[in-house]
């Protein structure tokens, strides 16, 4: 089958590009401004070498660890992504099912297209909800209560989106609100009827977790975007993190910070972990690659808190490098979205299988039998980098 012939994440990306109308593929694939940070997130991994131990008996490899207080089968989690139904009709359920099958942690976005209650009822396995602090604090408090009731294990608070990033591919394609599609975009939609026909029925655009707010206002789908756009609060500060940590009282990671100082502040405010992330290069262009920040963040936090390296991971060996530098785990966004677009749940399954196989093979080749035994000496900066 097509998916079986995908040998790596880059192959799945090519399949996704074929399956989707170009503007939708570009929405997944693109980043902010010049996409410097987007590119840097991945290429930064090539600045590190893996230093193997040989003759260490690697007949039993162990990848299990714990994240957000939950046991997981490998140090890889699925990052929250909004609007997932645009990429495949099975949307978040397909992604969460594949994650659960592999024993991996799944995170659902506030801007996802499946209600958090429906997701929790349909799919077992460790689950985190990605939350924003909205202007309407009542809406955020409501999410906290809903997540508790539905049995989510943790929260990830995204803090790198005080305003929307400048995604120029979306502008060029006319993927804006309201849409200003170019002829080229329209032709691309027409050439992908299996994507476009359901979209015409409107079933692809639904922020399922917040739509009740807009229903209450008796407004249409466009107002939903307006409502959400208007809900981002530029005045957020660390105080709000303290408030959320107290309101939730469980495992909480601050997602989207970059420095050791901010990581310490997050833990000081009651977070139990951090996701070192620049939103996959979709927000602040010019921000450093997460992998280059991991050692400093771990150094500042000591052994306890979860440190998650989020962005640019395309190979199992990337995960090993991040762990050797001090990460608890890595988080992936586009790799599973390419799989989802290419083949629904089977495509996500393929992406996860590939990454886990690569991770196990890299461990064996590096002579390390357990992810917990990866040390700083297993990785070396190629250039004279201060880490």
Which residues are annotated as catalytic?
279
DSSP letters along 191-236, please? T-HHHHHHHHTTTT---TTTHHHHHHTT--HHHHHHHHHHHB-TT-
Residue number with the shortest CB distance to ligand FNR?
A: 333
Q: To the nearest whole angstrom, how small is the minimum distance from the Cβ of residue 123 to ligand FNR?
A: 18
When the beta carbons of 321 and 368 are compared against ligand FNR, the nearer one is: 321
CA-CA distances (angstroms) from residue 88 to 20, 194, 207, 338? 9, 10, 15, 10
Structure tokens at 222: 């466009």
Is there binding between residue 279 and ligand FNR (CB under 6 A)? yes
Is there binding between residue 154 and ligand FNR (CB under 6 A)? no
Q: To the nearest whole angstrom, how small is the minimum distance from the Cβ of residue 331 to ligand FNR?
A: 6
Out of 9, 28, 324, 356, name the contact with ligand FNR by CB under 6 A.
28
Out of 113, 277, 293, 328, name the contact with ligand FNR by CB under 6 A.
277
| CB neighbour list of residue 305: distance below 8 Å, 6 or more residues apart | 263, 267, 271, 272, 273, 274
Out of 75, 126, 312, 339, name the contact with ligand FNR by CB under 6 A.
312
In the chain, count of helices (H) and strands (E)? 16, 12
Out of 37, 65, 81, 209, name the contact with ligand FNR by CB under 6 A.
81
Is there binding between residue 113 and ligand FNR (CB under 6 A)? no
Q: To the nearest whole angstrom, how small is the minimum distance from the Cβ of residue 156 to ligand FNR?
A: 7
| CB neighbour list of residue 371: distance below 8 Å, 6 or more residues apart | 62, 63, 64, 65, 74, 75, 323, 363
When the beta carbons of 313 and 366 are compared against ligand FNR, the nearer one is: 313
Is there binding between residue 140 and ligand FNR (CB under 6 A)? no
CA-CA distances (angstroms) from residue 367 to 45, 294, 317, 320, 374? 20, 22, 13, 12, 10
Which positions from 317 to 356 touch ligand FNR by CB under 6 A, shown as an x/- string?
---------------xxxx-x-------------------
DSSP state of 62: B
When the beta carbons of 40 and 298 are compared against ligand FNR, the nearer one is: 40
Calpha distance 319→290 (Å, rounded): 12
Judged by CB under 6 A, the stretch of 54-62, 134-142, 277-285, 352-360 that binds ligand FNR is 277-285
Is there binding between residue 316 and ligand FNR (CB under 6 A)? no
Q: To the nearest whole angstrom, how small is the minimum distance from the Cβ of residue 314 to ligand FNR?
A: 8
Contact 326, 349 (CB under 8 A): no
**How many CB atoms lie under 10 A from the CB of residue 166?**
14
Residue ranges with strand state E in the chain: 48-50, 65-67, 70-72, 76-78, 105-109, 127-131, 154-158, 252-257, 273-277, 306-310, 329-332, 379-381
Is there binding between residue 37 and ligand FNR (CB under 6 A)? no
Q: To the nearest whole angstrom, how small is the minimum distance from the Cβ of residue 234 to ligand FNR?
A: 17
When the beta carbons of 175 and 301 are compared against ligand FNR, the nearer one is: 175
Is there binding between residue 79 and ligand FNR (CB under 6 A)? yes
Judged by CB under 6 A, the stretch of 52-60, 136-144, 274-282, 362-370 that binds ligand FNR is 274-282
Pairing state between β 379-381 and 48-50: antiparallel
Binding site for ligand FNR (CB under 6 A): 28, 41, 79-82, 109, 111, 130, 158, 255, 277, 279-280, 282, 310-313, 332-335, 337
């Amino acid at each position: 089958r097509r998916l079986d012939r995908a040998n790596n994440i880059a192959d799945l990306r090519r399949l996704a590009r074929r399956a989707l109308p170009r503007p939708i593929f570009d929405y997944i694939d693109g980043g902010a401004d010049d996409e410097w940070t987007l590119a840097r997130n991945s290429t930064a991994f090539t600045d590190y070498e893996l230093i193997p131990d040989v003759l260490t008996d690697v007949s039993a490899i162990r990848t299990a660890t714990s994240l957000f207080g939950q046991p997981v089968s490998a140090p890889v989690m699925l990052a929250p992504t909004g609007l997932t139904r645009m990429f495949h009709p099975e949307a978040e359920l397909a992604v969460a099912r594949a994650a659960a099958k592999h024993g991996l942690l799944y995170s659902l976005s506030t801007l996802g297209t499946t209600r958090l209650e429906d997701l929790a009822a349909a799919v077992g396995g460790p689950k985190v909800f990605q939350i924003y602090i909205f202007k309407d604090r009542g809406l955020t408090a409501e999410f906290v209560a809903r997540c508790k009731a539905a049995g989510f294990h943790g929260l990830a608070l995204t803090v790198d989106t005080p305003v929307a990033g400048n995604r120029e591919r979306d502008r060029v394609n006319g993927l804006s609100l309201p849409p200003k599609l170019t002829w080229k975009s329209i032709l691309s939609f027409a050439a992908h009827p299996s994507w476009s026909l359901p979209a015409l029925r409107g079933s692809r655009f639904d922020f399922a977790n917040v739509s009740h707010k807009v229903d209450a206002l008796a407004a249409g789908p466009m107002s939903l975007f307006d409502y959400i756009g208007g809900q981002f609060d530029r005045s957020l500060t660390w105080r709000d993190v303290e408030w959320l940590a107290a309101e939730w009282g469980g495992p909480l990671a601050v997602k989207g910070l970059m420095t050791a100082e901010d990581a310490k502040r997050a833990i000081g405010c009651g977070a139990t972990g951090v996701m070192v992330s620049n939103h996959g290069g979709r927000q602040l262009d010019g921000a450093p690659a997460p992998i280059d920040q991991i050692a400093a963040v771990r150094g500042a936090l000591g052994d306890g808190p979860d440190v998650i390296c989020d962005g640019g991971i395309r190979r199992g060996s990337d995960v090993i490098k991040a762990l050797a530098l001090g990460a608890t785990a890595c988080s992936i966004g586009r790799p599973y979205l390419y799989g989802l677009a290419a083949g629904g749940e089977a495509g996500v399954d393929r992406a996860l299988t590939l990454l886990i196989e690569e991770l196990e093979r890299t461990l064996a080749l590096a002579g390390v039998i357990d992810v917990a035994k990866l040390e700083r000496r297993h990785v070396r900066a190629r250039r004279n980098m201060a880490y």
